[in-house]
Amino acid sequence: MKNSPKLLLTLLVLTVPVALGANSPHANHAAKAQESQAAAPRPYTAKTPKLNKTELDAWLAKPGQLLLIDVRRPEEISAIGGFAAYLSVQANSIEQSLASIPKDRAIITVSNHAGRAGKAADLLAAKGFNVVGAVGAQNYEEEGGKLVKIIPPAPKASTEIKPKS
């Protein structure tokens, strides 16, 4: 028992710097660097060309010839934004949706950083569609392009009259 205060003091001396070090600016910087590396987009590997803002704007000027297919989930489109007119087909459903995709227009696929868009574009091109490129909505915005934010309407209040009990 006589050694208990010394042991406690030794443990405090050894653990306090470690605990405080976890909150140091260097520790926070390292944690943020790890988060940003995890969130960094993967390199573009698709065969379909990845379009930049200028190239996409040139196609957007020809709406009668173009079909944008956004392969993102609806919550991504509403959170990040998208383009004014597009066909929404999620990436995992593209092959099942081939019959509903028109073949008479140039197609550009859209995702956040063009990764999923490139894969979808390659699949569509392999199936005979006229795919001209893939684009990342966030890349487009970073290059100065304007995205449309679609805010879902609030749920309507129920107008049903309930009988009193």
More confident site: 160 or 133: 133
Q: What is the pLDDT of residue 53?
A: 98
- Domain ranges in the chain? 53-142
Q: pLDDT band for position 11 (50/70/90)?
A: very low
Q: Is the pTM of this model over 0.75?
A: no
> CA-based diameter of the chain, in Å?
89
pLDDT band at 31 (very low <50, low <70, confident <90, very high): very low
Q: Where are the beta strands (DSSP E) in the chain?
A: 66-70, 87-88, 106-111, 131-136
Position 85 scores a pLDDT of: 86
Rounded to whole angstroms, the Cα distance separating 2 from 140 reads 69
pLDDT digits (tens, 9 = 90+) for 74-130: 999 989 999 988 998 989 899 999 999 999 999 999 999 999 999 999 999 999 999
pLDDT, mean over the chain: 80
In the predicted model, is pLDDT for residue 9 greater than 60?
Answer: no
CATH code reported for the domain at 53-142? 3.40.250.10
